[in-house]
Amino acid sequence: MESNLRTIIKAVTWQLLGLLTTSLLAWFHTGSVLDALTFALSTSATGFAFFFLHERVWARVRWGAAEERRA
């Protein structure tokens, strides 16, 4: 099982990648750096929250996970 800290680090690095790509795409479509960054930051914040929740829910689902062997 993953720790909360590991899940947060994974979510942050994933969102940084998403922030960069969304910013570039929004800048291309709007021509405005400020609008692009505003849009990218809002999508990044919601994506971060939902990614974290998604990971925590799946951490509790036993289906398809290998069982931990104890000696």
Per-residue tens of pLDDT for the chain, all 71 residues: 789 899 889 878 987 898 899 999 999 999 999 999 999 999 888 887 898 899 999 999 988 887 766 66
Please give the Cα distance from 20 to 36 (Å, whole number). 10
Please give the Cα distance from 35 to 61 (Å, whole number). 39
Q: What is the pLDDT of residue 68?
A: 66
- Please report, for residues 8, 20, 45, the alpha-carbon distance to residue 12 in angstroms, rounded to integers and kept in the order given: 6, 12, 10
pLDDT in tens, 10-29: 878 987 898 899 999 999 99
- Considering the entire predicted model, what is its pTM? 0.57
Place of tokens 């939902």: 50
